[in-house]
A and B are shown apart, each in its own frame.
Chain A
């Protein structure tokens, strides 16, 4: 076993005083030991105090442009394949998360590309017509002046093993100048800490306003301290986790939950001719293979329209073929018994359905992928994940919004392959049932810079506006030394 990788970034706390909890991750025949920080309540309190104070004293006074610059430089380091941390990421993350090396490499690059200066400026412009409100009072259209401030202490509670995913909310918090503490996800406890350290190297003052730590959820102690001290809590996880957290957050604290989601795709008959169907199946297979459908934007069901030259069952076979082909370049990691059980349970449901002729299972249980063709159509339901997907034959794509509507609370991304008029017509109906993101097939797992996660404003949701109303401004004139 190689050395122990220290996770997290804890400015202001003496390193030797920090307790550590060693967790071993195994995949691809290798083992990586990660030392998670484990703070006492007093240390948690001290960390909150340090970050909050430093944020007030330095971060609040920084121009947004300086923060953008630091994030850009940190991203550049992790994009540089020769940089020691990037090399470390490419070595350790496949073992920690179980994703194959190619997936990790491509995924890291694809994410980090969205945190370069131009993309960060777009991120800001997406939420603020005048990003200057983050630096000072700006004239408001309605009159008076307005300024936006992020929370003094923003707590992120991350979850999941998709590499670098926490960077989205971490970056959002920094852009609004929030003193930031993040809780690492046990399943991917490394990238956020590395990124924080790189920020600290790029801009040491900014690095002091940002901490990345860990605690065991649901056990009081430091968790209670962090939850009590934060002004805003942004949390990721399943509904049970979120409900438990929300119950512990003071009512005056803003709580921004991001629950689990289910993605699906729709393929119109005009995309199903013999020339297009194959490439489209390949793109869909990429969406399924990348991160093994663990990301909320990944498709778990594909609704395929009847009436094109390539029928839904034929498309299902194309898809099975592409998944089989991808398995050699991007092997699926060994599933743990729980994951294998999920697929087995999903397959067995469809096996039962197949007894009545309503389903056809493609592939063998031992294959590293599963495709089931459902005809007649059924409502949206999750797959067994890890490259298991249902192809649902529908008479018309306009039937789909009704099939997904009952699950509004879980909807987010939909991939669509259709002609422009159809795309916009479907988009109206999908928006009405709660879909918040529509992408091309093949781009489902790569949201573009500045996207609205779960339909929310990534930056705007974090800030509080302070307005100087026109009356105050006008009245002030009366008290000016130059007043007549």
Chain B
């Protein structure tokens, strides 16, 4: 357990470093208290930076190299953001990694190794997820019948998405909710039965899963000439993109396809944007128009930066997204993603990945080189 401490600046200024227990308490309170002001976000961000700087040695060195320490940084925007690639190369954890209750890992389809996020407790992650999900997906509804198109937590214990979907199903799913991806892959027959029941019952239902998991379902329905008309109030929830797990479909075609196959309007096709390197998720309000505006709750903020200098780009220009997630307290709160984005009223628009930009010529670029080096 990490206890409280105090760092002293040369000028005698003191920066308090909270204990882990204090941090967790403050975060749970912050998450549960809507309407936090900018000043409150900033104050907590700075305290968390001091905590992470004190206890996360690789992050401390990273920050020092950039000349950013708790004694020099006064604004949350100046807290140095760690490139998500570093989650693969470095152990970014304030608590000893062995003390983590859970380690979430990236799927590791590209690059070297898998990025890891260490969670000494899931209390903050769960509170963040449940509060965000209630507000943006359930929107006042208590429960809904859920069909999950993703393996469960037992099958994928290191997947943050498996945990996320388990939380969703346990907290917001009705008794007859079910997971349709098992050891043998997608159980299409069971899913079709589920959909048919939902259709006749007149009760709203929801399908939630990885974006790529919807593709074979849509293909199977097309092949069988089957379409569903889910009752009003039903919604579809996808996340994560195609990741090479299915063929890629342009967003408009994808949501048209979903809407057509399940009889759910595109406004009720919700996409979640989350990452293993975060403890909080972003949502849109439907995909009637792509790309929609994404936004998160009050304990996460985003910037759009020039990835090289880390400086915010002028408003309206495309850059790379930096997320500052207070709930990701044990690792680092500020991460530099590999996602392109642009600030929009009420949030940002996600414009796809910028990772491994291939050369425009015939020079080999890092991504391809690494992929080959791993065989």
Contacts and interface: CB of A to CB of B under 8 A. Distances in A.
Interface of A: 97-98, 159-162, 165, 187, 236, 238-240, 258-263, 291, 293-296, 298, 300, 335-349, 351-352, 354-355, 365-366, 381-382, 384-385, 406-407, 409-410
B35 interface: no
Q: Which 9 A-B pairs have the closest CB atoms?
A: A338-B357, A294-B361, A260-B364, A296-B362, A160-B361, A161-B360, A344-B307, A338-B354, A355-B61
A289 to B, nearest CB: 14
Interface string B187-220: 0000000000000000000000000000000000
Given A159-B362, A294-B359, A340-B320, 9 more contacts: A162-B362, A261-B363, A295-B361, A335-B308, A338-B355, A342-B365, A345-B85, A354-B65, A381-B369
A298 B363 contact: yes
Contacts of B258: none
17 contacts: A160-B360, A162-B362, A261-B364, A263-B363, A291-B361, A296-B364, A338-B355, A341-B320, A342-B356, A345-B85, A349-B85, A352-B62, A365-B308, A365-B310, A381-B366, A382-B363, A382-B369
Contacts of A343: 307-308
B319 interface: yes
Interface in B300-316: 306-310
A348 B308 contact: no
Given A341-B355, A355-B65, A409-B372, A348 B83 contact: yes
B319 A337 contact: yes
Q: Which of A98, A291, A335, A340 is the most central at the interface, judged by chain B CB atoms within 10 Å of its CB?
A: A340
Interface of B: 58, 61-62, 65, 83, 85-86, 89-90, 306-310, 318-320, 336, 338, 340, 354-366, 368-369, 371-373
A22 to B, nearest CB: 18
Contacts of B336: 344
Contact of B308 (A294, A352, A366, A382): A366
A89 B355 CA distance: 32
Nearest to A299: B363
Contact of A162 (B83, B90, B361): B361
Contact of B363 (A296, A336, A351, A381): A296
B204 to A, nearest CB: 37
B309 A410 contact: no
A365 B90 CA distance: 22
A345 B354 CA distance: 11
A343 B366 CA distance: 10
A384 B366 contact: yes
A337 B340 contact: yes
Nearest to A347: B308
B362 A258 contact: yes
Contacts of A384: 366
Contacts of B340: 337-338
B85, B90, B320, B362 — most chain A CB neighbours (10 Å): B362
Nearest to B85: A345
A293 B359 contact: yes
Contact of B354 (A298, A341, A352): A341
B365 A385 contact: yes
Contact of B62 (A236, A351, A410): A351
Contacts of B371: 239
Given A239-B368, A337-B318, A337-B340, A160 B309 contact: no
The listed residue with most A CB atoms (<10 A of its CB), out of B58, B359, B373, is B359
A152 to B, nearest CB: 27
Nearest to B338: A341
A140 B357 CA distance: 50
A260 B357 contact: no
B160 to A, nearest CB: 22
A120 B373 CA distance: 38
B331 to A, nearest CB: 16
Contact of A352 (B90, B309, B355): B90
Nearest to A346: B366
A142 B320 CA distance: 64
A154 to B, nearest CB: 19
B315 to A, nearest CB: 15
Nearest to A388: B308
B370 to A, nearest CB: 9
A382 B368 CA distance: 10
A296 B362 CA distance: 5
B243 to A, nearest CB: 14
Contact of A260 (B58, B61, B83, B362): B362
Contacts of B65: 351, 354-355
A382 B366 contact: yes
A300 B364 CA distance: 10
Nearest to A368: B308
Given A260-B365, A382-B365, A239 B360 contact: no
A294 B372 CA distance: 19
Contacts of A385: 359, 363, 365
A340 B308 contact: yes
Contact of A366 (B309, B338, B364): B309
Nearest to B351: A337
Contacts of B89: 349, 352
Contacts of B357: 336, 338-339, 341-342
Contacts of B306: 337, 340
B250 to A, nearest CB: 11
Given A341-B307, A351-B62, A410-B372, A261 B362 contact: yes
B320 A337 contact: yes
